[in-house]
Amino acid sequence: MATTSAQTEASRRELLTELAREIEYHEKAYRAGAPEIPDSAFDELFEQYQELAIELEIPEEERLDRRPGSDHAEGFEEVTHAVPMLSLEKLSSARKDSKGESVSLGEQLENWVARRRQDLECGADEALQLIVEPKIDGISVSLHYDSGRLKRAVTRGDGKKGDDITRQVLQSRAAPERLKRLKGEVEIRGELYWPRPAFDSYNEGLRKAGQATIMNPRNGCAGLMKRKEPVGLESVGITSFLYQLVTPGNNKVPETQHAVLEWLAEIGAPVYLDGVTVVNDAAGALAFCEAFGERRPQPEYEIDGMVIKLDELRLYDRLSGTGHHPHWGIAYKFPPERRATTLHGITVQVGKSGKLTPVAELEPVLVAGTTVSRASLHNFVELERKDVRIGDTVWVEKAGEIIPQVVSVDLSKRPAGTVPTARPQQCPSCGAEIMSEEIFLYCPNPACPAQITERLRFFASRQAMDIDGLGAVLVVQIVDKLGISSPEQLFELSAKDLAGLERMGKKSADNVIAGLERAKGRGLARVLTSLAIRHVGTTTAEDLAGHFGTAQALLDFAARYCDGDEAAIESIAPEKGSGAIEGLARKSADVIMTELNSPGVRRVIAGLERAGVRLSQLEGQRREVEGVAGKTFVLTGTLPTLKRSDAGEKIKRAGGKVSGSVSKKTDFVVAGEEAGSKLEKAQKLGVAILDEAGLLSLLGEA
């Protein structure tokens, strides 16, 4: 019996470790602006982790916590929040009491209000008014105004410090550059968001260009606000709602939250006033939340929940808090639409990088307006955690209201005789033995037929080599009937080869051959993008091409990197700070250089060279200028004639690098009017400072 107990505890500890790995993975994806599961699923995952950690008596200091994860991106200056910018405690449908019984949202909210009354020593007859506000699904931002003019915008980050995104906010006009009648230094917090019509329009543009679309408005907003060069952001339509006055400056302000919202509207701040109400108790707050959820507006912006706060602001200072959240407010999340259906099978997809993804084959069901017959199971750790089995009745929802996914199993309807779904040991396409990395499984065989087809589809796509006429259906035929298995072989095709394929006449075949010929001149950056190397997207490919200039120089460097050449490693991915490729982390560099140095990639590049594909940076994109090439520049303030984005492009074309923060490695700071803290830091560090005229002179354009 003792052995069985020990085995049970060992398996539970193993599950706890798996849950921790999955939570950390999804937190990283969320911070990167590319979450794979909705907030509700993440909350359930964390609740399960917490319950298991309590059962196993894991000390609190050894557990994962829920403090906001850092969203810091390399190249952005970090700013410390004068008042911590913490996330709110959440009402959770997954919460259980000490006996393991579910605690309703109403009970949780009643308990929260009771604790606040106790903290504040309120009498039984004393009113404690609550304000309920809609929660816009965007990214939190701290806005600092000086005499009414926006001086700084900062992300929430880890709650203690966030990234300076002032340039991005100003360029996108996401928040007011000026507010009326403000005196002194004022901090206002709010939410940046992307209205649905503007988001849909942007995605349509990506779709027409053959590029991958963005999963949802929140992800897109987060990603665009971390665009290092903000040129073009003014046309995407990101905007904001402001809701919290943190530092009043020299202004006489109201004493309640609902009056502060009205005051913010009066001075010109965008404020959400529809759907805001003041109630006297928890029951009234919950009823309003549920009623609003039934009628919440969908066309213009996403509202994913409500925020319940004490209305009297003077009470906030009397309440304590935790390192994770303040005690003056709590969040209510709307449950996503879920539908039950039968799972008929589980198939395994093999992606272009070899990643194996389990996919649920479902009895068709209508979810959030569309019929769903297939849904993601994300990865095998997730599949095992949920114990999804063929024949089960499963609950399906849409992640971000877009991507269908299986969220849970209705165990009460499980048929007799079902068996757990086993992890594949071999690739379903080629039979190769599977390897694991983090929480994913991979097929390591580059000759895998499924990978070949996916890689060739991507190689021909618009975001890669942009080969006109070579669509997904034709790629399948080329692989199956013509035996093409590698990108360089595409350039050996003739119109005669193609004309014999289904739905391919002479004219269509000639168009594809002409498309292949045009693609030869796309340049090194497009080639690197098209090779589907992990961690090499469009931006990294452009940075690599710009830095190395030719494929041969890059391959030579990759060989030195993989041989352990410390100078090479430190030059591109130092342990601290940023190297030659802005924002490239050591782990990512390890993967990129290993793949570039592999025989398979070298063979493809050699074949492309023989086919006449251009493997150097395109002319006009880079012209190294002595004194600029290899140097790191930081741009700050308003320049007389140039936009900072234009100045940055000039520096990059001349072989220089542009960084968002000043450090000892900075060579030049280009300062305009109202340069601020970056200029001050440069002066303290003794960094050379240029004005616009000095930069143009250095570039040889004066």
CATH number of the domain that 548 lies in? Answer: 1.10.150.20
Q: Tell me the pTM.
A: 0.55
Average pLDDT over residues 491-496: 93
Residue 299 has pLDDT above 60, yes or no: no
Residues 353 and 276 in one domain: no
Among the listed residues 139, 152, 217, the one whose alpha carbon sits nearest the alpha carbon of residue 188: 152
**Maximum average pLDDT range among 238-247, 316-325, 371-380, 618-627:** 238-247
pLDDT attached to residue 11: 63
Average pLDDT over residues 114-132: 90
What values do phi and psi take at 514, rounded to 5? Answer: -65, -40
Residues 315 and 346 in one domain: no
Specify burial of residue 80 (Cβ count, 10 A radius: 0-12, 13-18, 19+).
Answer: exposed
pLDDT attached to residue 140: 93
Q: Domain ends where: 477, 493, 519? A: 519
Question: Does 389 fall in a domain?
Answer: yes
User: Catalytic site residue 135?
Assistant: yes
Residue 3 has pLDDT above 50, yes or no: no
Residue 31 has pLDDT above 60, yes or no: no
Q: Which residue has the tokens 């309120």?
A: 122
d(CA 514, CA 468): 8
Residues 515 and 489 in one domain: yes
Residues 197 and 323 in one domain: yes
d(CA 496, CA 502): 13
Let me know the angle formed at the C-alpha of 593 by 589 and 594, rounded to the nearest 5 degrees.
Answer: 115
Calculate the CA 690 to chain-centre distance. 35
Residue 15 has pLDDT above 80, yes or no: no
What tokens were used for 333?
């999340």
Instruction: Count helices and strands (H / E) in the chain.
Output: 23, 22
Q: Domain ends where: 432, 460, 478? A: 432
Which residue out of 90, 135, 228, 386 is catalytically annotated?
Answer: 135
Residue 649 has pLDDT above 80, yes or no: no
Contact call for residues 240 and 141 (beta carbons, < 8 A): yes
d(CA 157, CA 43): 19
What values do phi and psi take at 616, rounded to 5? Answer: -130, 165
Residues 329 and 463 in one domain: no
Residue 84 has pLDDT above 70, yes or no: yes
- One-letter amino acid for residue 153 of the chain: A
What tokens were used for 630?
């290899």
Residues 260 and 326 in one domain: yes
Question: Does 87 fall in a domain?
Answer: no
d(CA 525, CA 652): 14
**Residue 369 pLDDT level (bands cut at 50, 70, 90):** low
Contact call for residues 425 and 434 (beta carbons, < 8 A): yes
Residues 181 and 217 in one domain: yes
d(CA 562, CA 557): 9
Q: Per residue in 516-562, pLDDT tens? A: 999 999 899 899 989 988 878 776 888 898 889 999 999 999 999 99
Q: Report the domain count for the chain.
A: 6
Residues 652 and 589 in one domain: no
Structural domain including 589 reads 524-610
d(CA 507, CA 62): 67
Among the listed residues 55, 65, 54, the one whose alpha carbon sits nearest the alpha carbon of residue 24: 65
Give the domain CATH number at 639. 3.40.50.10190
Residues 209 and 292 in one domain: yes
Question: Does 437 fall in a domain?
Answer: no
Question: Does 117 fall in a domain?
Answer: no
Residues 471 and 488 in one domain: yes
> Would you mind telling me the total number of residues written for the chain in this entry?
702
